[in-house]
Chains A and B, each alone.
Chain A
Amino acid sequence: MEMFLDVLSQLAGGFVTSFLLFILTLILALPLGLLVSFCTMSKFAPLSMLSKLIVWILRGTPLMLQIFAIFYLPGILRLFIWPQMNTGWEWFDTTFSTRFIAALVAFAINYAAYFSEIFRGGIQSISQGQYEACQVLGMSKREAFFKVILLQVIKRIIPPMSNEIITLIKDTSLANTIAVYELIFEAKEFMVIDALIWPLFMAGAFYLLFVGLLTIIFGLIEKKLSYFRS
């Protein structure tokens, strides 16, 4: 029983790191993804070409490889080393380690690439007629986008976004390849140190419960957004 509680608290600590990686990735990747989708749809050819190239690279290579490259390449090329937090508050400094920062950057840009394609699909699914109607009503392009188009886009992209977001919480486990102390890393430590296998399955339960929670939240959001029934 004591061992069980010990494992539970250690895994909970790992889950906090996984969760922080998850939520911070979302905060960074959502606006970044929108920006990239605008670049991809830009009429200025070099910009849209460049953004398509970047999206291709980010979606076309394994996330694990991207994490590795973002953490190690700057140092190997003698460019820079990821900054070390030094606030003196031990929990903060160890949680937001150089490894965590590098992983966060990798997740944010990788997910921004995926999100951008979902945004683009959502935006382009709105019929041209609506833009024309807005124009007739004397709205500016900006007004038309934020007051008319965006609300419909948000509604349409909720199902594919919830898919990506559920994948994200499980993908955070890839950060263990650069020794970020997240949930899977902590569970594996029990295997190495105490020769215990079950903590790894217990870690699975953490993901499962969290994904269950996310599913309920997305269900509620979909209900709330049932405006503009067509």
Chain B
Amino acid sequence: MKKVLVLLLALVMACASFTSCGCQEINDLEKIQESGKLVVGVTVYKPMDYIDEETGEWTGFDAELAQAFAERLGVKCQIVIITWANKVAELNSNQIDLVWNGMTASDELGESIDFSVPYAKNAQVAVVKKGSSLTKDSIKNAKIAVEDGSAGHTVAEETIGATNIAKLTAMNDALNEVKGGTSEVAIIDLTMAESIVGKGEYADLEILSGASYGEEIFAVGLRKGSDLKAELDAFLKEKYADGTLAKLAEKYQVVLNEDALK
């Protein structure tokens, strides 16, 4: 019976910590200096974080910045691939220190984790088959594919008000739905759409003109109350001021969120 109680208690505590505000200051700086490495959680996401085919090393707008930030802290940068849906659990369970992956800073997410200065911006776009007769107004009643829990998912549900939504585990799956004809529209990131739609396997798809929604801002995710935030914000502003960010943005075709970085 005692063990049952302990188990139940553990469950209750687990639920509590999922929802707790975590108001206390968290000494991440000390922890990182001690372990000698900054662990950054990413998914393979061009142009933010991906592996250079020639060198086999991580590269991309976010990866380069993360490495520069680790260097500034005087530690090694360890980039690990995570499952995107688990990012909050990864942070709260101390498996990773930062989520640096072109992450949209939404209000809901802001309740569980902290954000850095929003350094870049993006929009959600509708992708359809080339020659599709759908328009911005008619996609409301079309079959829409999205990545479950992504910003595109919110746009499809709230902004477009669609009811026929297929929730997939990745943005690529949403594109595959449109390619395969099981859905008519995919709502995905502009950054991602620009880099793969109309090329390779997705040559027969196109971005629906005029259907751009909810401009959003990208930020780095931190544990709630992490003392790393001040350091990170100072780093980003400094890199903006000295022109490094503008250079990277041009190299990787990312749109900087200049208002916040000034």
**A interface with B by C-beta (< 8 Å):** 50, 53, 68-69, 71-77, 81, 98, 176-179, 181, 188-189, 191-197
Measured CB to CB, the nearest residue on chain A to B93 is: A75
**Within 8 Å CB of B4, what residues of A?**
53
* Residues A98 and B95 in contact, CB atoms below 8 Å apart: yes
**Within 8 Å CB of B92, what residues of A?**
72, 75-76
**Within 8 Å CB of A81, what residues of B?**
93-95
A68 and B88 CA atoms in complex are apart in Å by 12
26 CB contacts below 8 A, A to B, read A68-B86, A68-B89, A69-B14, A73-B93, A74-B93, A76-B17, A76-B18, A76-B93, A77-B10, A77-B13, A77-B17, A177-B86, A179-B82, A179-B83, A181-B81, A191-B172, A192-B170, A193-B44, A193-B46, A193-B51, A195-B172, A195-B175, A195-B196, A195-B200, A196-B201, A197-B201
**Within 8 Å CB of B43, what residues of A?**
192
B148 contacts the other chain (CB 8 A): no
A75 and B43 CA atoms in complex are apart in Å by 21
| Known contacts A77-B10, A177-B83, A191-B172; is-contact A72 B196 (Cβ 8 Å) | no
**B interface with A by C-beta (< 8 Å):** 3-4, 10, 13-14, 17-18, 43-46, 50-51, 80-83, 86, 89-90, 92-95, 170, 172-173, 175-176, 196, 199-202
**Within 8 Å CB of B46, what residues of A?**
193
* Residues A192 and B44 in contact, CB atoms below 8 Å apart: yes
* Residues A178 and B83 in contact, CB atoms below 8 Å apart: yes
* Residues B14 and A76 in contact, CB atoms below 8 Å apart: yes
**Within 8 Å CB of A192, what residues of B?**
43-45, 170, 172
A180 and B93 CA atoms in complex are apart in Å by 17
A91 and B89 CA atoms in complex are apart in Å by 26
A176 and B84 CA atoms in complex are apart in Å by 11
A192-B170, A196-B201 are known; give 7 further A-B pairs, CB within 8 A. A68-B89, A72-B92, A73-B14, A179-B80, A193-B50, A194-B200, A195-B199
* Residues B86 and A197 in contact, CB atoms below 8 Å apart: no
A194 and B202 CA atoms in complex are apart in Å by 11
Measured CB to CB, the nearest residue on chain A to B1 is: A46
A125 and B14 CA atoms in complex are apart in Å by 41
Give the 9 A-B residue pairs with the shortest CB-CB distance, closest first: A75-B93, A72-B89, A72-B93, A195-B201, A76-B93, A75-B94, A191-B172, A195-B200, A192-B44
* Residues B95 and A72 in contact, CB atoms below 8 Å apart: yes
CB distance from B193 to the nearest CB of A (A): 12
* Residues A188 and B170 in contact, CB atoms below 8 Å apart: yes
**Within 8 Å CB of B13, what residues of A?**
77
CB distance from B63 to the nearest CB of A (A): 14
CB distance from B76 to the nearest CB of A (A): 13
A219 and B89 CA atoms in complex are apart in Å by 44
A69 and B50 CA atoms in complex are apart in Å by 28
A50 and B3 CA atoms in complex are apart in Å by 9
**Within 8 Å CB of A71, what residues of B?**
93, 95
* Residues A197 and B176 in contact, CB atoms below 8 Å apart: yes
CB distance from B17 to the nearest CB of A (A): 5
A200 and B170 CA atoms in complex are apart in Å by 14
| Known contacts A75-B95, A177-B83; is-contact A191 B170 (Cβ 8 Å) | yes
| Among A68, A72, A176, residue most surrounded by chain B Cβ atoms (within 10 Å) | A72
CB distance from A192 to the nearest CB of B (A): 5
CB distance from A96 to the nearest CB of B (A): 15
**Within 8 Å CB of B45, what residues of A?**
192
Measured CB to CB, the nearest residue on chain B to A75 is: B93
**Within 8 Å CB of A195, what residues of B?**
172, 175, 196, 199-202
A180 and B77 CA atoms in complex are apart in Å by 20
A74 and B50 CA atoms in complex are apart in Å by 30
**Within 8 Å CB of B10, what residues of A?**
73, 77
Measured CB to CB, the nearest residue on chain A to B43 is: A192
| Among B80, B94, B95, B196, residue most surrounded by chain A Cβ atoms (within 10 Å) | B95
* Residues A77 and B3 in contact, CB atoms below 8 Å apart: no
**Within 8 Å CB of A76, what residues of B?**
14, 17-18, 89, 92-93
| Among A76, A98, A176, A197, residue most surrounded by chain B Cβ atoms (within 10 Å) | A76
CB distance from B121 to the nearest CB of A (A): 23
Measured CB to CB, the nearest residue on chain A to B83 is: A179
A195 and B92 CA atoms in complex are apart in Å by 32
A191 and B44 CA atoms in complex are apart in Å by 10
**Within 8 Å CB of B196, what residues of A?**
195
**Within 8 Å CB of B51, what residues of A?**
193
A195 and B205 CA atoms in complex are apart in Å by 13
